[in-house]
Amino acid sequence: MHFLSEDFLLHSDFARRLYHGFAANAPLLDFHSHLPADDISSDRRFHDLTEIWLEGDHYKWRAMRAHGVAESLCTGDASPYEKFLAWARTLPYTLRNPLYHWAHLELKRYFQVEEALDERTAKRVWERANSLLADDGFTAQAILRRFSVQVACTSNDPCESLDAHAAINRAELGFRVYPTFRPDNALRVGHPQSFAAWVQRLTEASNVDIGSFAAFVRALQRRHEYFHEHGARLSDHGLPYCYASPCSESQAEEIFTRARAGVAASPAEQEQFASLLMLFFARLDAARGWTKQLHLGALRGVNTQAVARCGADGGFDAVGDWPQAERLAAYLDLLERESALPKMVVYNLNPADNYVFATIAGAFTDRCPGKIQLGSAWWFLDQKDGIEAQLNALSRTGLLAHFVGMVTDSRSFMSFPRHEYFRRILCDVIGRDVENGELPEDEAWLGKVVRNICFENARDYLGLETPNLRPSKAQAAEHANR
C-alpha cells in the first residue's frame, strides 16, 4: 500500500466500505477545541505556512527540541521561513510519531501536497502553501466550511467576552461556534496574587461586587448564565485529579477571604475549596442540561527552567500518575446522591486509566444513552495505539455505539484532519472484527454505528443547536423562480 493512500489505515475490505461509505463524508462536530473565536469572527487570513501551522503548536516544538533544534527556531524570533525549514528538517525524524501522519495528512488535505516534507521539498511546499493561503478559500471561515464543520466549541475563561461568538452565530455562516465554560482560574487560591487579579476581572465581567465568597459564587453563576445565553452547553476543567474533599461554606469563605488578602491556601485547603466549587459547577451544568468535561491526569510544566524561558503550554508537560479511581467515583457519587449529576465526558491522560474511567462511567446511568462518557484519546494518547486502546476499553466495558466521538482539542485551524485519522481507525477496528467473524457483515447497521459516532451521537447528546437547515435566502429565491 502507498503512503497515505485513499485506504490509509484501512486494512480490510469491510473497513474501506465503512470509511468511504459512512465516515468520510460525515460533517464535523468539534465539541472541544481551543480555536480563538476572534480569528473566526474576523475571518483571519494566514500569511504563510508558519503562521497557520507552527504558531502555538507545542507538539511540533517538542519534536523539534527533541531533534536538537534551537529554541529560537521553535518559540523564538527566527524568521517564518527559518522556522518552517527547521520543522521540515525535523519531520522525517518524527516517523511513527502521530505528528508524521498528521503533518502529511494536513499538507495533503489543505494544499494537495503529495510528496513527503523534508529539507529537499521544503521550499516547494512553502511556496505552494503560501500561494494557496492568499486565496479566499483559506481564511478561518472558509477552512471551517471546507471541512464541513457544523459546530465548533472553543474553551473560554468565565471572564471572557463572548461578542465574537455572538457575531459569528448571527452571521449565519453555515456553522456555529459556541463557547465552553472553563473556570480553572476560580480554583487557584494557592496563588493569591493571580487569584486576586482574576477575581477583579470577574467583578468587572459579572457586574457583581465580590465582597464575599457568596458573592463570588453569584458572579460565577451569572457568567454561566451569560455563556448559556450565547449557546454554551459544555463546561470543561483541566485538573490533575477530581476533587472530593469535604468543605463547608464557612471553610470556603475563610479560604477565599485569606487568598484575596494575599495568603496562599495550603494544599489541603486548595483541595477543599476546589471540591466545593466543583460540586457547585456541576449543579449549574445539571440544572441547565449541560455536559461537563473533565480532563484529568496531566503533570504540567515538569521542566521549570524551560517553562520560565518559554512560558506555560510550551511542550514541557507529561502524563501524571495520581490515583484517579476513588476520587472520580466519589465526585460522581456525591452529585448522583443529590440528583445533580450532569452529563459528563471524562478524558484520561494516563493510559492506565482507560478501564478505570470507562468502568466508573458505566456505573452511573439513567435514561440518557451513554450519560457518562469515556472521552476520546487525549493529547499524548491521541495516536493510533491510544485511539484503539480507548475504543477497546469502551467497547469491552460499555457501549461503543453510544460514543460521542472525536474532538481536535487544538489551537490550530490545520487540525481538522485529526477527525479523519480517528475515523479511519474506528472503521478499521470494526472492519477487523467483521473480517474475523466476530461481527456480522451488516453494512447498514455497522455503517449507522460509525456514522453516529462520527456525528449524530454528539449532536443528540450535547443538545447544541446546529446551523439552520432551512435553505439560505439566495437558495429560497432561486427555488421560487423555478
Per CB under 5 A, residues contacting Zn ion are 409
Q: 351 vs 94, 347, 389, 422, CA distance in Å?
A: 21, 10, 8, 17
Q: 184 vs 205, 318, 329, 474, CA distance in Å?
A: 16, 19, 21, 44
Residue 48 CB, nearest approach to Zn ion (Å)? 26
Residue nearest to Zn ion (CB): 409
Q: Which is nearer to Zn ion, 19 or 347 (CB)?
A: 347
Residue with cell 481507525: 425
Residue 452 CB, nearest approach to Zn ion (Å)? 24
Q: Which is nearer to Zn ion, 30 or 409 (CB)?
A: 409
Q: Which is nearer to Zn ion, 206 or 348 (CB)?
A: 348
Q: How far apart are CA 246 and CA 102, in angstroms?
A: 44
Q: 312 vs 3, 300, 302, 342, 445, CA distance in Å?
A: 35, 8, 10, 31, 46
Residue 90 CB, nearest approach to Zn ion (Å)? 24
DSSP symbol at 320:
-
Q: Which is nearer to Zn ion, 106 or 409 (CB)?
A: 409
**Nearest CA among 31, 43, 26, 29 for reference residue 171:** 43
**Nearest CA among 1, 14, 22 for reference residue 435:** 14
Q: Which is nearer to Zn ion, 48 or 409 (CB)?
A: 409
Q: How far apart are CA 255 and CA 342, in angstroms?
A: 27
Residue 32 CB, nearest approach to Zn ion (Å)? 6
Residue 410 CB, nearest approach to Zn ion (Å)? 8
Q: Which is nearer to Zn ion, 34 or 101 (CB)?
A: 34
At 14, list the grid cell: 469491510
Q: For residues 11 and 159, is the Cβ–Cβ distance under 8 A?
A: no
Q: Which is nearer to Zn ion, 213 or 347 (CB)?
A: 347
Q: Which is nearer to Zn ion, 353 or 409 (CB)?
A: 409
Residue with cell 473565536: 37
Please give the backbone phi and psi of residue 211, each rounded to the nearest 5 degrees, phi first.
-100, -5
Residue 18 CB, nearest approach to Zn ion (Å)? 28
Q: Which is nearer to Zn ion, 348 or 452 (CB)?
A: 348
- Lateral strand order in the sheet of 372-374: 234-239, 291-296, 343-348, 372-374
Residue 155 CB, nearest approach to Zn ion (Å)? 6
Residue 404 CB, nearest approach to Zn ion (Å)? 15
Burial pattern 226-248, b for ≥16 Cβ within 10 A else e, equals bbbebbbbbbbbbbebbbbeebe
Residues 6+ apart with CB under 8 A from 111: 125, 128, 129, 132
Residue 409 CB, nearest approach to Zn ion (Å)? 4
